[in-house]
Amino acid sequence: MEINNTAAIVTGGASGLGAATARALALNGCSVFAVDLEESIQNAEPVSGVEYLAADVTDPGQVRTAIEKASAGLPLRTVVNCAGILPTMRILGRRGVHDSALFMKVVQINLVGSFNVLSAAAEAISKTAADEHGQRGVIINTASIAAFEGQIGQSAYAASKAGIVGLTLPAARDLAPFGIRVNTIAPGIVETPMMASVSEEVRNGLAADVTFPKRLARPEEFAQLALSIIEHDYLNGETIRMDGALRMACR
């Protein structure tokens, strides 16, 4: 699918995976709208071709407003959902029983937030003119290898990301009549700002568990994979692991 001179939305676009993806799309000729929380946008680096829009993905009204702005000019063709959080808590541990409010918050942001963006963006994309192959766009969601091998303390996160994996195929089937593909990337451990608070010793230990290459993934590699999915017209309804063959242990 040709993305030059089209619009793209990237949620969580102010940092980490989202920022790298927004930058890569802009370098490939997209007019990119990076959607994130206001406080995150305030700390974001200005990038040529990227406009920041403040919105909470759990608020359908804010999501719709952002998508309306992103689709007001060039045809909206690409959406990459990167917004998410990763708190940890055991179902039963020293702090007692898992806080149900925390569980619901994680699912609301990671899963429901992605669905809010996917559904509203699909409606906007469906109104654009199809190309000669009947294509209108592609939506990429972000899961995690925790969807398959959730670790101790990751019940909320793993459940939310497993929901993303389960959403992928039915969403692709639902949106096929409109020429919209849906795929998911399930990253392993990526060197993002979320890892900044982790010591070098811990990072080295995490990298040692990766089969090959023996290092953490880079945000730019996530962006590279997203571009490959966009360009590969026959990839649809798939969840692709990007993890260096890592299979997570229980802790």
Q: How far apart are CA 229 and CA 181, in angstroms?
A: 10
Which residues have a catalytic role annotated? Answer: 157
Q: What's at 147, amino acid-wise?
A: A
Predicted model pTM: 0.96
Q: Where are the domains of the chain?
A: 7-192+218-241
Sign of CA dihedral 113, 92, 88, 221: negative
Q: Report the CATH fold assignment for 7-192+218-241.
A: Rossmann fold (3.40.50)
Q: Which residues contact 31 (CB under 8 A, 6 or more apart)?
A: 5, 6, 7, 8, 49, 51, 73, 74
**What is the maximum span of the chain, computed from C-alpha positions, in angstroms?**
59
Give pLDDT tens digits along the chain (251 positions): 999 999 999 999 999 999 999 999 999 999 999 999 999 999 999 999 999 999 999 999 999 999 999 999 999 999 999 999 999 999 999 989 999 999 999 999 999 999 999 999 999 999 999 999 999 999 999 999 999 999 999 999 999 999 999 999 999 999 999 999 999 999 999 998 777 766 787 778 888 999 999 999 999 999 999 999 999 999 999 999 999 999 988 88
